[in-house]
Amino acid sequence: MSDMKKKTSAGGILSKLMRNQIFIPLAALLLLVIINLIAGPSFFKISYSANNAGNMIFSGYPITILDFGSELAILAIGMTLVTAASGGQDISVGAAIAIAGSVMLRVLCGNAGSRPETMQAPIIVAFLVGCVVAMLFGAFNGILVAYFKIQPMVATLILYTAGRSIAAWINNNELPIIKEPVFGYFGGTIPGIPIPTPIIIAVVCMIVTALVLKFTTLGLYTQSVGINEKSARLNGLNPTFIKFLSFVILGLCVAVAGLIKVSRLSTINYSVIAKDIEMDAILAVALGGNALSGGKFNMVASILGAYVIQFLTQTLYRFKVSSDALPAYKAVVVIVLVVASAPTVREKLSSLMKSRKSHAKEVG
Amino acid sequence: MKNKKKLSDSNLLLLITIVIFFVMYIGAVVFLKGGFLRPQAFLNILNTNAALIILASGMSLVMITGGIDISVGGQMALISMCCAVYLDYMGGNIFVSILIALAIGLAFGAVMGFLVAYLDIQPFIVSLAGMFFARGMTTIVHTAPFNVANEAFTKLKGTRIIVPGLGSVNRKGIYVDAYIEIGVIVALLVVVLLFILLKWTKLGRAFYAVGGNKQSALMLGINVKRTKFLAHLLCGLLAGIGGYVLFLNRGSGAVTNGNGMEMDAIASSIIGGTLLTGGVGNIIGTLFGVLSLSTIQNIVSSAGFDEAWWTGITIAGMLCLFLVIQSIVMSRKKSS
pLDDT tens-digit map of B271-304: 888 887 788 888 988 999 898 888 888 777 777 6
Q: What pLDDT sits at residue A27? A: 82
| Domain A58-318 CATH class label | mainly alpha
Nearest Cα to B207, choosing from B313, B282, B149? B282
A18-25 own/partner pairs: CB under 8 Å, 24+ apart: A21/A288, A21/A289, A21/A290, A21/A298, A21/A301, A22/A288, A22/A289, A22/A298, A22/A300, A22/A301, A22/A304, A23/A289, A24/A287, A24/A288, A24/A289, A24/A301, A25/A287, A25/A288, A25/A289, A25/A301, A25/A304, A25/A305, A25/A308
CA distance A250 to chain B (A): 19
Interhelix angle A123-142/A152-170, nearest 10 degrees: 150
| Partner residue facing A150 (CB), from B68, B316, B323 | B323
List, in sequence order, the alpha helices (H) in B90-122. 94-117
Buried-state track A66-105, b at ≥16 Cβ within 10 A, e below 16: bbbbbbbbbbbbbbbbbbbbbbbbbbbbbbbbbbbbbbbb
Residues 283-312, chain A, touching B (beta carbon < 8 A): 286, 292-293
Q: What are the C-alpha distances in Å from B197 to residues A256, B56, B207? A: 50, 16, 10
Cα–Cα distance measured from residue B133 to residue A327, given in angstroms and rounded to the nearest whole number: 6
CA distance B75 to chain A (A): 12
Q: What pLDDT sits at residue B114? A: 94
Q: What pLDDT sits at residue B105? A: 95
| Partner residue facing B309 (CB), from A157, A165, A338 | A165
> Does the CA dihedral A82-A86-A87-A90 come out positive or negative?
negative
pLDDT reading at A327 higher than 90: no
CA distance A34 to chain B (A): 26
Q: What pLDDT sits at residue A142? A: 94
Nearest Cα to B258, choosing from B15, B21, B106, B49? B49
What domains are defined for chain B?
A: 9-335 (1.10.3470)
Percent of all residues in chain A with a pLDDT value above 70, rounded to a whole number: 92
Residues of B in contact with A150 (CB under 8 A): 276, 323, 327
Q: What are the C-alpha distances in Å from A91 to residues A161, A163, A248, A279, B172? A: 10, 11, 14, 7, 51
CA distance B217 to chain A (A): 21
Question: Mind listing the pLDDT tens digit for each residue in A193-250?
Answer: 888 899 999 999 999 999 999 999 888 999 999 888 889 889 888 999 999 999 999 9
Strands (DSSP E) found in chain A: 47-50, 56-59
pLDDT reading at B103 higher than 90: yes
Kindly state whether B136 is in contact with chain A, defined as any CB-CB distance less than 8 angstroms.
yes
Question: CA geometry: angle at A344 spanning A233 and A341, to 5°?
Answer: 75
Cα–Cα distance measured from residue B67 to residue B124, given in angstroms and rounded to the nearest whole number: 8
Kindly state whether B40 is in contact with chain A, defined as any CB-CB distance less than 8 angstroms.
no
Under an 8 A CB cutoff, do B130 and A331 touch?
yes
When pLDDT is cut at 50, 70 and 90, the band that residue A5 belongs to is very low
Give the nearest chain A residue to B137 (CA atoms): A328
Under an 8 A CB cutoff, do B136 and A342 touch?
no
Question: Mind listing the pLDDT tens digit for each residue in B171-181?
Answer: 666 777 777 88
Kindly state whether B128 is in contact with chain A, defined as any CB-CB distance less than 8 angstroms.
yes
Cα–Cα distance measured from residue A156 to residue B174, given in angstroms and rounded to the nearest whole number: 50
Domain residues of chain A, as ranges? 58-318, 321-364
| Partner residue facing A342 (CB), from B119, B135, B263 | B119
Give the nearest chain B residue to A328 (CA atoms): B133
Residues 183-242, chain A, touching B (beta carbon < 8 A): none
Torsion of CA A2, A8, A14, A20, to 10 degrees: -120
When pLDDT is cut at 50, 70 and 90, the band that residue A322 belongs to is confident
Question: Mind listing the pLDDT tens digit for each residue in A127-163?
Answer: 999 999 999 999 999 999 998 888 888 888 889 888 8
| Partner residue facing A173 (CB), from B121, B307, B317 | B307
Give the nearest chain A residue to B121 (CA atoms): A342
Under an 8 A CB cutoff, do B120 and A282 touch?
no
Residues of A in contact with B324 (CB under 8 A): 144, 148
Mean pLDDT of chain A: 85
Kindly state whether B317 is in contact with chain A, defined as any CB-CB distance less than 8 angstroms.
yes
Q: What pLDDT sits at residue A1? A: 43
Q: What is the CA radius of gyration of chain A?
A: 23
Q: What pLDDT sits at residue B171? A: 66
Residues of B in contact with A339 (CB under 8 A): 115, 119, 121
| Partner residue facing A328 (CB), from B118, B137, B311 | B137
Question: Mind listing the pLDDT tens digit for each residue in A40-58?
Answer: 777 777 877 777 666 777 7
Question: Mind listing the pLDDT tens digit for each residue in B215-252?
Answer: 888 888 889 999 999 999 999 999 999 999 998 888 88
Give the nearest chain A residue to B325 (CA atoms): A148
Under an 8 A CB cutoff, do B128 and A158 touch?
no
Question: Mind listing the pLDDT tens digit for each residue in B109-142?
Answer: 999 999 999 988 888 888 888 988 998 899 888 8
Cα–Cα distance measured from residue A173 to residue A108, given in angstroms and rounded to the nearest whole number: 16
